[in-house]
């Protein structure tokens, strides 16, 4: 599955993407904000990630910047299953932080989620990662008022996570709110 936003091509990963993926995610500042990625993040983890079988019901995409010589992988975004339904997750390589790419890519995935028939999407961020909370609020997510411990593989412990929810029937994912 593919999706195009204003500046990004969201596409599936391919086996040959492992090195570019590794180059973006093998950064403790990135991985510490993810629940499922281990630290240290090794080349074998990138190879396993790009080799995973994709489910069309919970697609994951590489975020790429189209260019003259192919595309540059700047992160990943997608949907996943969680105990409360479907959740949104994403990460951005450090050189691309602060440019609106997470918001743009996540907005694209929310459009896909709507097309797939989802009505609500969950998300969360570790409390020590307020930038991710800012992205979620721009997308129209509402804090549930709950903070729950969530295991971080990279940190090797449970970390407090603020929980959010988005009702896709009423959200305007095509135009995220300004910061």
Q: How confident is the chain (179 residues) per 10-residue block, as mean pLDDT?
A: 95 96 96 96 97 95 84 95 94 96 98 97 98 97 97 96 95 60
What are the tokens at 119? 């009505």
pLDDT at 19: 96
pLDDT at 47: 98
pLDDT at 71: 80
pLDDT at 170: 80
pLDDT at 66: 87
Q: How far is CA 13 from the centre of its chain?
A: 14
Q: Which domain holds residue 114?
A: 3-167
CATH number at residue 107: 3.40.630.30
**Edge-to-edge order in the sheet of strand 9-11:** 3-4, 9-11, 60-67, 70-82, 85-92, 120-126, 157-167, 142-152
For helices 101-115 and 130-138, give the axis angle rounded to 10 degrees.
50
pLDDT at 172: 67
Does 175 reside within a domain? no
Does 177 reside within a domain? no
Tally of domains in the chain: 1
Does 99 reside within a domain? yes
Residues 101 and 163: their CA atoms lie apart, in Å, by 21
């Amino acid at each position: 599955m593919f999706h195009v936003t204003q500046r990004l091509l969201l596409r599936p990963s391919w086996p040959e993407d492992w090195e570019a993926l590794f180059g973006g995610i093998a950064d403790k500042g990135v991985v510490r904000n993810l629940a499922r990625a281990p630290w240290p993040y090794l080349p074998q983890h990138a190879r396993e990630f790009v080799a995973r079988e994709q489910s069309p019901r919970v697609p994951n995409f590489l975020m790429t910047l189209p260019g003259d010589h192919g595309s540059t992988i700047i992160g990943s975004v997608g949907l996943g299953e969680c105990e409360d339904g479907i959740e949104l997750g994403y990460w951005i390589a450090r050189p691309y932080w602060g440019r609106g790419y997470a918001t743009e890519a996540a907005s694209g995935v929310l459009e896909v989620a709507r097309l797939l028939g989802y009505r609500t999407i969950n998300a969360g961020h570790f409390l020590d990662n307020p930038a991710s909370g800012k992205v979620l609020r721009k997308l129209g997510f509402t804090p549930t008022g709950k903070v729950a411990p969530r295991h971080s593989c990279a940190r090797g412990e449970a970390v407090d996570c603020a929980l959010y929810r988005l009702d896709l029937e009423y959200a305007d994912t095509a135009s995220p709110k300004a910061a």
